[in-house]
Amino acid sequence: MMQGLHSVKDSYRGRVVALQCAPTFDDIAAFQSRQGDLNAWDQCSIHYASKVTAETFLEIAPNSLDHVDVIVNGPKDFVTAVAKVYVAAGGRKLIRVYGFDNPRHRR
């Protein structure tokens, strides 16, 4: 998913807030080096959390969950967990699932 963001960074005009989740930061460290200049892209902020929570959504959302599109990538259990906490945080829009092996899945 981060590679996908990198591929559109020169043409995408919106703001991107990325959240990477894993038990420890070391678990995602390998992905950090592959992001290239995403860390320097002023339209993108990248966050880490050991798990996604409603509080996490509210902390990193630019203004309001009413004005964001949530795109999630990961195993089915993770996608389900993200959908639940998104709703708990007040999210109302459909969540889009991105992945090569995930069937179309909408909340």
**Which pLDDT score is estimated for 84?**
93
Task: State the pLDDT at residue 99.
Answer: 67
Instruction: Give the model confidence (pLDDT) of 27-69 as tens digits.
Output: 887 766 555 666 677 778 888 899 999 999 889 887 778 888 8
How far is Cα 51 from Cα 24, in angstroms, rounded to an integer?
10
Give me the pLDDT at residue 50, please. Answer: 92
Greater pLDDT, 105 or 16: 16
Range in 7-11, 95-99, 101-105 the model is least confident about: 101-105
Whole-prediction pTM = 0.73
Pair 89, 59: CB distance under 8 Å: no
32 bridge partner residues = none
